[in-house]
Amino acid sequence: MTGGAADGTTRGVALVTGAGSGIGRATARRLAADGWPIVLVDRDGGRLKDTVDGIGAPVLEHLVCDLTAPSAIQDEIAAVVDRLPVGLLVNNAGVGFRATAGATTDEQWDTTLALNLTAVFRLCRLVLPGMIQRQRGCIVNIASAGGLVGLRQRAAYCASKAGVIGLTRALAADHAADGVRVNAIAPGTVDTEWVERMLADDPDAPGTRRMMEQRQLDGRMGTPDEVAAGVSFLAGPDGRFANGSVLVLDSGLTAV
């Protein structure tokens, strides 16, 4: 499907966070191919530049900012939202680490919640007035299978992603009448640098990787493109009946 004018005057522009890597990069590529004018955000300028250079379509703007810093959303992203009609927000940037609750420090808890949940809330709050005014908009929050079930050694992460799912549903309920749809995707384990980081201090990294693959019914990790396809569906006309939904893309991780 093709998009509107290059400045996004028809259905607006798509803003994707965490676009410097993995699922965010694949989502940026997919939405550009779908015809969305795109704005990309990441805290890692070098990696974001690689995404922009490799996308094969013009990127309207790319912003290097740390979404946990209050000024990033209040000032830098707010300035973009003032200039451009954001019709699609993909809240993808996220962090995670392995620890039980007992082994989680206050700082780890705060950092995880600040990005995975508070920044998602603040970005939704920022773009909603424009969407409501235009009576049209779509938000896709990248949650996790860990927001639906308890995963071992992911206490803060699971709490943050369950919060994202609750926020998604509440926003859908509040804003359906405004023409805004809000959905989440709950991916299983997807082969990105994230996984490499999780395995970095694992004394049996190959064994843990095999376990992560085998707990999914296809016996493999998902690809970033498979999650990006879900974003494309939810954001496009075929996804119009989805609101307050959690699209589970996990090859059965949470089903069996």
Ligand X SMILES: NC(=O)c1ccc[n+]([C@@H]2O[C@H](COP(=O)([O-])OP(=O)(O)OC[C@H]3O[C@@H](n4cnc5c(N)ncnc54)[C@H](O)[C@@H]3O)[C@@H](O)[C@H]2O)c1
Cα dihedral 222, 32, 146, 205 in deg (nearest 10): 40
Instruction: Kindly tell me which of 179 and 219 has the beta carbon lying closer to ligand X.
Output: 219
Q: Which is nearer to ligand X, 189 or 251 (CB)?
A: 189
Helix, strand, or coil (residue 3): coil
The residue (of 50 and 178) whose beta carbon lies closer to ligand X is 50
Q: How far is the CB of 43 from ligand X (least distance, A)?
A: 4
> Which tokens sit at 248?
């589970």
- Is 73 considered catalytic here? no
Exactly one of 157, 171, 190, 227 is catalytic; which is it? Answer: 157
In contact, 39 and 14? CB cutoff 8 Å: yes
Q: Give, for 24, the enclosing helix (H) or strand (E).
A: helix 22-33
Decide: 120 and 141 in contact? Cβ < 8 Å: yes
* Residues 108/99, Cβ–Cβ less than 8 Å: yes
- Cα 116 to chain centroid distance, Å, stands at 9
Residues in touch with ligand X (CB under 6 A) = 18, 20-24, 42-44, 47, 66-68, 92-96, 115, 142, 144, 187, 189-190, 192-195
Q: Which is nearer to ligand X, 104 or 189 (CB)?
A: 189
| Residues recognised as catalytic | 157
